[in-house]
Structure 1
């Protein structure tokens, strides 16, 4: 695997840390900025909205730019937004930096995924995507706790400075290692070709599977802390350990998926989503058992993240050479799932079914993802009658 692919993964780690770190910073930010905690929480929503809109929009606007120049421009803006955010005198300025930062992060993610797949042989694309997407997993396992720790010993602004420094290091790595041009066989993309590639029913079915596969896992993960303390009866110290085990399982899962998805994307997807369905049901049924929950959460991380390279590699296979806009829309699909999951799971909790009900929500989403996967597989067999 080229070192440049790992540099792109580092950049996603730095930027992904910014996406998730606010979860541990909200009380301190609210107190410093003079707003309520719910208002501070809207900074997370602002980032999510920017991610959904920014990915396809920036992909289209920068389509004909050299990829390294595009990546460097996005990283430079992201660094600037975090410097401004760290110095922000008030809530409004910080809100604006979150929206703009999310825009360029989404754009970077989409272009980085295409650049990574261009730097490796066709049979290694899932592994390259696993490295890039693995940056997000690392940001949840290492970045978010580290950001919270930094804010405890300094303040929330120090966490923003840290992200700015990490992103600047990634900028230097991209400048030094990512090829300046496209792959020798790659033509300069045209928006008309990119839009034509998007007019593919199988691609949109895959996007649906992307959203549901990710949200099926996030439905339980989003409320895991409250579930473990309220229903399972674990102390807050154990919650951190269980979250770390989920992260470890996610790293194992995305590694496995990256090695199997190129040759067997549908099989990898089916096995992973079946695992999410079973473990989500386990969350609902075994929530009162601490040992069972620890094992279930770990296995959910393994199963859930194994599907990520499988669905991503299908997007790029369906898009063919016009993959920039399709790949960026894939980023939006993941973030739609990230937004959908806590909302739907929250409805079950608000209806009085308890925290364990989030497991049934996740299981239903996993079943939906499996259904879309089967539909996409059937259409694939009709178009290309070979075993996969």
Structure 2
């Protein structure tokens, strides 16, 4: 695997940590700016919306430059947004910096996913994508607890400066490494051809699967602390519960990178079925603290194993859309992360923890059906099975 893949993963980790860390900063931010915690949570929603909108827009804008220049520019904008955020004098200014950072992150992730195809052979695409997404899963493990600990010690603004420092090594590495320039030059986008490539059944279906699987995943993750507390887990142990889910997520992505490439469709369909069983088991045992702990790790592993494999599928199937292919994968990830908590929140308000898991199970059923429909096995000219 090229060293640049790991450099990009490091940058994605830094940016992903920023996306997740605000979950532990709502109270201090709301107290400093005199807004309610619910209003402070708008900063998280703003980030998700910025990611959804920014991915295609920034991918199109970035197509005018060399990939390396584009990645450096997006990372610099992301760093600048955090410097301004750390110095923000009002909540409105902080909100603007969150949208700005999200758009830059969306562009960086979209270009990274598109660039992957030029850095590795086709058979290694799934592994390379899984390596990039490992940065995101590591952010879920350490982003919230590390950000919370830093905020407790030095104030919430220190977490923004921490993200700036974390981006430093990746920025230096990108400035020194010219691999993207060797891999390709400036992309000449043919919008009609790219949209046509994205409109294919295999691509649209994979995008749909990614949205619903990630919606179920992030819906549960958002409410996992409340689920744990309602099961009798002490508040002091909730960070460990979230970490268990994050560890499972990392293991799932690592397993996908190692074993999914040669059996991708089986991995996605079989993994979706296993995930459905895991969500259902957690639903049935939601009042048992031990079961919630154990199944959180299992669900984290299965959900991210399936999710990362589907993203890899999108990137490969969208080869005919070299600019918007990576953007579509980014949109799928973040649209799920935006919609899932909304659905889970409505369910939690109506029936409590069980409702959150019921929503995840239903979304997984939809994803399972869509994966069977959209990712059919076919035989190539040599009679070999393609997955």
TM-score band (shorter)? over 0.9
Distance 1:110 1:253 in 2: 22
Which residue of structure 2 lines up, in the alignment, with residue 381 of structure 1?
378
Distance 2:354 2:232 in 1: 12
Matched, 1:332 2:331: yes
Q: For the Cα contact (< 8 Å) 2:26–2:40, is it kept in 1?
A: yes
Q: For the Cα contact (< 8 Å) 1:63–1:191, is it kept in 2?
A: no
Which residue of structure 1 lines up, in the alignment, with residue 270 of structure 2?
271
After superposition, where does 1:285-364 map in structure 2 within 5 Å? Answer: 285-351=284-350, 353-364=351-362
Distance 1:382 1:375 in 2: 16
Instruction: Identify unmatched segments of 5+ residues in structure 2.
Output: none
Give CA deviations for 1:30-74 in whole Å, capped at 9, x if unaligned.
Answer: 111222222211111111110000001111122131000000000
Q: For the Cα contact (< 8 Å) 1:261–1:313, is it kept in 2?
A: no
Scaled by the length of structure 1, what TM-score is found? 0.94
After superposition, where does 1:72-91 map in structure 2 within 5 Å? Answer: 72-91=72-91
Matched, 1:32 2:29: no
Distance 1:287 1:55 in 2: 36
Matched, 1:171 2:168: no
Q: For the Cα contact (< 8 Å) 2:205–2:375, is it kept in 1?
A: no
Q: How many residues align?
A: 384
Q: For the Cα contact (< 8 Å) 1:279–1:299, is it kept in 2?
A: yes
Give CA deviations for 1:107-150 in whole Å, capped at 9, x if unaligned.
Answer: 00010112233212221111111111111111110122111100
Matched, 1:203 2:200: no
Scaled by the length of structure 2, what TM-score is found? 0.95
Matched, 1:68 2:68: yes
SS at match of 2:35: coil
Q: For the Cα contact (< 8 Å) 2:17–2:143, is it kept in 1?
A: yes
Q: Which moved more, 1:257-266 or 1:334-343?
A: 257-266
Q: Which moved more, 1:196-205 or 1:90-99?
A: 196-205
After superposition, where does 1:157-306 map in structure 2 within 5 Å? Answer: 157-183=157-183, 188-192=187-191, 193-230=193-230, 232-306=231-305
Q: Which moved more, 1:240-249 or 1:85-94?
A: 240-249
Q: For the Cα contact (< 8 Å) 2:66–2:186, is it kept in 1?
A: no
Q: For the Cα contact (< 8 Å) 1:75–1:168, is it kept in 2?
A: no
After superposition, where does 1:99-110 map in structure 2 within 5 Å? Answer: 99-110=99-110
Please state how far the C-alpha of 1:180 moved relative to its aligned partner.
Answer: 4.6
Please state how far the C-alpha of 1:376 moved relative to its aligned partner.
Answer: 0.8
Distance 2:302 2:280 in 1: 13
Distance 1:197 1:263 in 2: 23
Please state how far the C-alpha of 1:224 moved relative to its aligned partner.
Answer: 0.8
Please state how far the C-alpha of 1:387 moved relative to its aligned partner.
Answer: 4.3
Matched, 1:45 2:42: no
Q: For the Cα contact (< 8 Å) 1:22–1:44, is it kept in 2?
A: yes
Which residue of structure 1 lines up, in the alignment, with residue 364 of structure 2?
366
Distance 1:84 1:249 in 2: 34
Q: For the Cα contact (< 8 Å) 1:282–1:359, is it kept in 2?
A: no
Give CA deviations for 1:52-111 in whole Å, capped at 9, x if unaligned.
Answer: 000011111221310000000000001111000000111111111111110010000010
Distance 2:145 2:374 in 1: 38
RMSD: 1.8
Q: For the Cα contact (< 8 Å) 2:147–2:159, is it kept in 1?
A: yes
Q: Which moved more, 1:12-21 or 1:340-349?
A: 340-349
Distance 1:72 1:327 in 2: 17
SS at match of 2:64: coil
Distance 1:180 1:6 in 2: 13
In structure 2, do the counterparts of structure 1 residues 383 and 200 end up closer, same or farther at CA, with 3 Å as the change threshold?
A: farther
